[in-house]
Amino acid sequence: MSLTARYLEANDIPTVIMGSAKDIVEHCGVPRFVFSDFPLGNSAGKPHDAASQVRTLELALRVLETAPGPRTTVQSTQRWSQDLEWKLEFQNVERIPLEELQRRREGFDRIKEIGNKVRDDARAARQD
């Protein structure tokens, strides 16, 4: 997404990236960035929390209007939780029960099967 934003900006289309991976997004050098200290995949606000999502969008639009220069990062004041334990828990395989890891592995394997089928079907169609 960061590289797409840079391309759009080079073609005079202003962008704002909303993200949760500050180090990665800043390394890519996006023009405007709203950082939410949330688990990955939740950069537009908390799931099922319209107020959180609206606040994130409003902040992004303010950054778009007021960023003082290139590579501007603004951090959202929202918190995922008052307890920072989530940072230790999130995607930490040592803290995920074995049954949950197995469930996730099965889901990942199903997604890989679908991806492989799509790829194989596309190759077959090109050969026709």
Max CA distance (Å), the chain: 58
Indicate whether this model's pTM tops 0.85. Answer: no
Task: For residue range 6-38, list pLDDT tens digits in order.
Answer: 899 999 999 999 999 999 999 988 999 999 999
At 10, list the tokens: 């080079």
pLDDT at 82: 87
- Helix and strand numbers (H, E) in the chain are 5, 3
